[in-house]
Structures are given as structure tokens and as C-alpha cells.
Amino acid sequence: MISVGVDVGNKFTKAVVLKDGQVISKSIVLSGFDQKQSANEAYDQAIKEAGISKNDVNYVLATGAGKKEVDFANDVVSEVGAGARGAVYFFPSGRTIIDVGAEDGRASKCDQNGKIVDFAVNEKCAAGAGSFSESMARALEVPLEEIGPLALQSNNVIYMNAQCTVFAESEVVSLIHAKTSKADISKAVHDAIAARIISMARRVGVEKDLVMIGGVGNNVGFLKALGDGLEIEVLVPDKPEYVCAIGAALIAAERN
Amino acid sequence: MAEKPKEYWRWDEYNWRNPDIDWRKAKIITAGVDVGSVSSQAVIMADGELYAFANMRTGSDSPNSAINAMNWALEGTGMALSDINFTVGTGYGRVNVPFANKAVTEIACHARGANYMYGSTVRTVLDMGGQDCKAIRIDEKGKVVSFLMNDKCAAGTGRGMEVFANLLAVPIVEVGEMSLQVEEEPAPVSSTCVVFAKTEATGLLRDGWPKEKVLAAYCSAMAHRVISLLERNGVEKDFAITGGIGKNVGVVSRIEKELGLTALKPRYDTQIAGALGGALFAKALVEKGTKK
């Protein structure tokens, strides 16, 4: 039984091949402007890496912002559905799932089977999504992968006034001019994104355990801010950016 | 040597003076200083008539921006700061105007300023500023009846337009005209968030859209966005637009079209409405004080 999950995100497209419930290969490519093409690229790469042919695949499920562009998929599944399923695969005790990607954020509550009970989504505003930290890293002139670890060096609390990413960029520049340390600013930035996600999570209700998935799950600065803000332990699977694709592949295996 | 990146958001800073007014003959000289998040204005009035003003970019320091704007408005007038009887500070940096006698909110000042600029028939003022957007309903005296404001999100503000001017490498003052050079009006940019709209616009350019068409789609999205704010607050004739975006015909004409209302033509720079209102408040305060 071979199933594939393809997650066409706003920034990256991920494909995962599952054989009898085990991940045998995964791939990631930039989504770019042609999502159809990137979905195909990711699929081809994952198939190649698995050492199988497309004819061996029983079922393909697509998810993510560009899920409808995946013309080779048998069906689509919602991002919340796929995310929760994937999260529970890694942490069966997961009941609250936080999924933060490049351009969106989701908080959902699920049961022990990864079935969604309630959820909230933000895909309208960059504050509270990965692009917020990207913009702030640019304003701080710090590489994106360093902004998270940098935040951990600070224990100072600075509140950012701006909510909007565009305004926050100017605020970061003002803070730099005011000689605020980059570590303090970085912490303030992550506290700000986390605050947006926390208010969304509280709307659906936070229950133990909490699992964080999506690309922003790689950002230690965000994870600390989220955990401190909610006063809860944040569980993160290895390579959290693949969890939605894995969830889709798991659901695909049942559909066959 | 690396070339300095062009600053497409830049507009001409300038000062202006009415040569027909001799301020030395005036009984009351008042000033209004509006320190906004993006631009700062200082307005000087002689007996309630607009005498001089300066309009410039706000620097990183509010008190300095207020002082610079004021000095520039005073330049060439022979007037000293001490000749001014009363100064009102307004705008988001209103508490940082060191020489102001009083601070008044920008909502009240814009309402008052619009009443002077457009006449007493104005009932709805849309102030499209650098980092916020306000829908204000006013009475025949320029008093605020109700207002709604967006200061949380760059969509529908001057900053949003600056981001697009930079992205498309079009000087901001040309954006409006350029956006009207389309044969057919495209669908508005669908993303609300400026960050996402930028990505969307990049995609449109890749699809071969000319700059004009992308700007048309963005101006139209911005018009649509502020109209929802206007309508929630209620729209009544006459209608006027203040703030920097009031100079962008691309946005103004699309608001007019969607609203089915023509905006009054401004007599002065739409950016000075707040400072002008401040100077008018200052005059009223002086008169109130002298009556005692």
C-alpha cells in the first residue's frame, strides 16, 4: 500500500511517500509562482527518492493553499485535517495543534484520532505568520535562520506597538536607532507573532498536549515565546514542515 | 561603486506663503503642527486665514520633525516663533511638539481643517494618512459627529501605497495617473495584507501584466478597502478626502466611482488638513481666553 501526500504551501511545496504507514521518502521545493509545476517537481523527486514508479502509487491526496493545482491528486484534504492527523501520528497525546506556515496560521483542537473538533485560521494578515519574522529578519539585517536563536539571548520584555508587518518593520528600524540590542528586538518580534497565535489558540481552547507543526516550528525563538505565553510545553516533531504532507498521506492510505 | 537605491516613495517637501497677507496687521496669529507617522506639517494662520505652511517627511524623532516643519513654515516670513499667540500640536506625535500650548486629537483637527478647506457643507471626511485611515462624519461647524479608524493595518494607508511604488519602481506621485492608463479595469488585488498583496502583484507581473494594470488593481483594492470603513461609519454628502492619498487620482476616482459620490476639490494641499484644524482650534482657544 503506497500513498502520497502533497502539501502546496505558500512558500514551499512538500511531498511525502508512505509505504504501509511508514514514510519512505520526502521532498521539498520552492512553490514559486507556478504551483502546478512545483507540485509535479516535488512529486517526481519524492517518487525518485523512494525508488518506485508512479504506477505503484495507490492514492494521492493534496493539501495546502495550492491544493487545487495538484492535477495528479485523487482528491484534496483541508490543511487543518491533514495537519492534525500528521501531528497525532508523531504525538498521539496531541489535542491542540498549532500550524504556522509562511503566510498563514492555524490553531485546531482534535480528538485522539486526529479528527478536528474546532479550529481557527488566519490567512489574511502576515502578522502571525512566518513572513512576519522574515520581514523582521530583513529589517534587523540578520539571516532568517539566526533570528530565532538570537531571541533566546534576551530576557527583556519589549512590547511592539505595531501589529501590521509593514508598520512593525518601521518600528524595528526605530528600535535599532534607539540602540536596542538585536537580541531584545528579536525577542520582541517573536513575542508579537506568538501573541497573535496565542489569541487564536485561546479562541478554540488550549488543551494538553500542544503540538506545533509547520515551517515556523523550526524557529526556536517562536517556540519559546509560544510556550512561555501559554505556559505549556510545546511538542515539536522533527522537520515540522512535512507534517501536513504526512497527514495527507496517512489519510490517503485509508481512502484507498 | 554601488548605486544608491532610488526612493520611489519620496514626494516633494515644500513650504508656501500667502503674499497677500501682512501678518503684522493681524490681531491673532496661531499655528497648528501635525506630526504624523509619515509626514509633518506646520500651518500658520493670521486672524483665521491661512498664511503659511510647510509640508515635510517626519524624521525618526518627533520633536525635531515638529521644530523643522515650524521653522520651514516661518522661513522668509520675518515672523518669529514668539510672534505666534497659540500653537496646537496634533497627529500621532502631538505630545512631542515642544513649543505647542495644547495637544488636540488629529480626528478633531482633520474635521475642523476639512470644514475650512472645503466649506461648511462637508459631512463626510475620509482622511487617508501615512499609517492610518479615518472615516469621520462632521457637522456644519466642523465638529466630529462620529468616526471610525484603522490604524492597525497598512492596507488602505499611504504606507501600503509606498510599498507598491517601490515594488513597481514608480514614483509615488505618478502612481494615480499611471493607474488610470488601462483600457479595462482589472479585478482588484485580492489579498488584504500589504505583504501578501506584494507577492500577488509580483505574480501578476510575471504573468505579463503591465505596471499600469497592476497599479490599477491595487488602487482599486485600496478604494474598496476604505469604502467598507466609510460605509460602516455612514456616508453623507458632501464628501471630501484629506491626507496624502487625497492627491492620488487613481484611488480618489475609484472611491468616487464605487461610492457614487464626487469628492470636493481641495483648495489647498490635502495633507495640511490636520495642522490647519489645529491652527483653527488655537484661534478659538485664544478668543475664548481673551473673553474671560
In this structure, the dihedral spanned by the alpha carbons of residues A12, A18, A24 and A29, taken in order and rounded to 10 degrees, is -10
Residue among A103, A125, A177 whose CB faces B60 most closely = A177
CA-based nearest residue to A165, from A135, A130, A197? A135
Question: Which residues does B139 contact at the CB level (< 8 Å), separation at least 6?
Answer: B123, B145
Residue among A33, A131, A164 whose CB faces B206 most closely = A33
CB contact under 8 A, A33 and B203: yes
Does A179 contact B at CB distance below 8 Å? no
Helix or strand or coil: residue A65?
coil
Residue among A126, A135, A163 whose CB faces B152 most closely = A163
Does B192 contact A at CB distance below 8 Å? yes
CB A190 within 8 A of CB A134: no
Helix or strand or coil: residue A51?
coil
Single-letter code of the amino acid located at A143: P
Which cell goes with B16? 508656501
Please state the domain extents for chain A.
1-91+241-256, 93-236
Contacts of A170 in chain B (CB under 8 A): 37, 159
Question: What are the phi and psi torsion angles at B63 (to 5°)?
Answer: -55, -40
CB contact under 8 A, B194 and A164: yes
CB contact under 8 A, B159 and A166: yes
How far apart CA B239 and CA B227 sit, in angstroms, is 12
**CB-neighbour burial class of residue B169 (10 A; exposed 0-12, middle 13-18, buried 19+):** exposed
How far apart CA B34 and CA B42 sit, in angstroms, is 6
Please identify which residue in the block is written with the cell numbers 512529486: A43
Which DSSP string do the residues of chain B spell out, in sequence order? -PPPPP-TT----EEEE-TT--GGG-S-EEEEEEE-SSEEEEEEEETTEEEEEEEEE--S-HHHHHHHHHHHHHTTTT--GGG-SEEEEESTTGGG-TT-SEE--HHHHHHHHHHHHH-TT--EEEEE-SS-EEEEEE-TTS-EEEEEEE-S-STTSHHHHHHHHHHHT--GGGHHHHHT--SSPPPPP--SSHHHHHHHHHHHHHTT--HHHHHHHHHHHHHHHHHHHHHHH---SSEEEESGGGG-HHHHHHHHHHHT-PBPPPSS-GGGHHHHHHHHHHHHHHHHHHH-
CB B90 within 8 A of CB B277: yes
In this structure, the dihedral spanned by the alpha carbons of residues A219, A223, A225 and A230, taken in order and rounded to 10 degrees, is 160
CA-based nearest residue to B56, from B72, B80, B44, B77? B72
Residue among A131, A164, A177 whose CB faces B153 most closely = A164
How far apart CA B280 and CA B278 sit, in angstroms, is 5
How far apart CA A3 and CA A54 sit, in angstroms, is 10
CB contact under 8 A, B60 and A174: yes
CATH of domain A93-236: 3.30.420.40
How far apart CA A184 and CA B3 sit, in angstroms, is 32
Residue among B60, B163, B196 whose CB faces A103 most closely = B196
Which cell goes with A95? 489535542
Does B225 contact A at CB distance below 8 Å? no
CB contact under 8 A, B195 and A126: yes
The one-character DSSP state at A20 is T
State how far residue B151 is from chain A, nearest Cα, in angstroms.
9
- The count of C-alpha atoms lying within 13 angstroms of the C-alpha of B196, restricted to the half-sphere facing its C-beta, is 22
pLDDT at B60: 77
How far apart CA B220 and CA A53 sit, in angstroms, is 48
Containing A166, the helix (H) or strand (E) segment is helix A165-177
In this prediction, the residues of chain A whose per-residue pLDDT falls under 50 are none
Q: List domains and CATH numbers for chain B.
A: 14-114+272-291 (3.30.420.40), 121-263 (3.30.420.40)
Does this chain's domain A1-91+241-256 share its CATH topology with A93-236?
yes
CB contact under 8 A, B194 and A166: yes
Residue among A33, A126, A177 whose CB faces B193 most closely = A126
Does B152 contact A at CB distance below 8 Å? yes
At the fourth CATH level, the homologous superfamily of domain A1-91+241-256 is: ATPase, nucleotide binding domain (3.30.420.40)
How far apart CA B155 and CA B157 sit, in angstroms, is 6
Report strand pairing: A2-8 vs A59-63. parallel
Q: What is the pLDDT along chain B (292 residues), one digit of tens a residue?
A: 556 678 898 888 999 999 999 999 999 999 999 999 899 999 999 999 999 999 999 987 888 999 999 999 999 999 999 999 999 999 989 999 999 999 999 999 999 999 999 999 999 999 999 999 999 999 999 999 999 999 999 999 999 999 999 999 999 999 999 999 999 999 999 999 999 999 999 999 999 999 999 999 999 999 999 999 999 999 999 999 999 999 999 999 999 999 999 999 998 999 999 999 999 999 999 999 865 5
How far apart CA B91 and CA B108 sit, in angstroms, is 10
Contacts of A167 in chain B (CB under 8 A): 131, 154, 159
Containing A167, the helix (H) or strand (E) segment is helix A165-177
**Residue of chain B nearest A171, judged by CA positions:** B60
Contacts of B195 in chain A (CB under 8 A): 126, 131, 135, 165-166
pLDDT at B106: 94
CB contact under 8 A, B203 and A174: no
Does B163 contact A at CB distance below 8 Å? yes
Does A122 contact B at CB distance below 8 Å? no
